[in-house]
Amino acid sequence: MQSSLLQFKSAASVPQASKTSGHETVTRRARRPAILLSSRILFYPKPPRSVQPTANPNAYKILVVDDDPDIVELLEYNLRKEGYEVASAPDGRKALEIAPQFGPDIILLDVMMPNLDGIAACRQLREMPKFKETYIIFLTARAEEFSEVAAFEAGADDFIAKPIKPRALMSRLAAFVRRDKDPLVQTDSIEINGLKIDRTGFAVFQNGRKINLPKKEFELLAFLAASPHKVFGREELLQNIWGNDVFVLARTVDVHVRKVREKVGDHHIQTIKGVGYKFNTDN
């Protein structure tokens, strides 16, 4: 029995041969290239499965502008996985060529790029009527104060420092899409990072604990929280909270922001020096 089994294994391991006109022809089965993982294991790799672009005609279009191909590939993969239609450009000059044809709803724009940097590209995009309301987010490793100021002065809506966290970026984009689809709907309450703002009851709750705010402090907090990550200048806040009929100094905004921070925490309202304030949803 053991002898027969050995003969069977030996025969199975030898390719079948046949003699033709005195010559021996050996037929071997084609195999995929193998990777030797150890002396006993051979691994036959399969090609990676690509993420196919969305076929949804109503999908939001995002233009990724960055000279780093690894970052572009990372963003394209995650964006397409979330259902967005994506195009990319390696620099600002190419972005200005692609944008009018592609018609993006959102532009992710790097600052430091060859040919034309992100600041200059943003200014030129904002000069085009088609892109005056397009949501533009700067993605950059330069987190210095002057870079943020320059970005917002050029017309940016948001500013994210590298390294990019895909999950946080996807969450921010999803929030923009929700607001963009139904901009007139104003919810009665806002809940962000344990902070609940009840518009109808003029009440604020921090992790279930009620915080009492005077009317103007509440209106300031609710106004900023209604448009998270959007930067508002002092003059714009004065007009929306205090109105044009009351004379107040720009420093009034700073004082109210300081008082709100003392009660709800410093991390909810972020200062963009030289520009203004924004509500921060990041932990």
Going residue by residue through the chain (283 aa), what tens digit of pLDDT does each one get? 444 444 444 444 444 444 444 555 555 555 555 444 444 444 444 444 444 444 566 789 999 999 999 999 999 999 999 999 999 999 999 999 999 999 999 999 999 999 999 999 999 999 998 998 898 988 877 655 556 777 777 888 777 778 888 888 888 788 778 767 765 445 578 888 788 898 888 889 988 889 988 888 898 999 998 888 788 888 889 888 887 655 667 788 888 999 999 999 888 899 988 888 999 876 5
pLDDT for position 24:
52
At 30, list the tokens. Answer: 């084609």
Domain 61-178 and domain 189-279 have a common topology? no
The top-level CATH class assigned to 61-178 is alpha beta
CB 236 within 8 A of CB 250: no
pLDDT for position 244:
65
pLDDT for position 69:
94
Through-space distance between the first and last CA atoms of the chain, rounded to whole angstroms: 70
The rounded distance, in Å, linking the Cα atoms of 238 and 255 is: 12
The rounded distance, in Å, linking the Cα atoms of 280 and 192 is: 9
Strand partners, 232: 277
pLDDT for position 46:
46
Q: Taking the domains of the chain in order of start, what are their residue ranges?
A: 61-178, 189-279
Alpha helices in 56-117 (DSSP H): 69-81, 92-102
Taking the model in full, what pTM does it have? 0.56
The top-level CATH class assigned to 189-279 is mainly alpha
The rounded distance, in Å, linking the Cα atoms of 203 and 183 is: 23
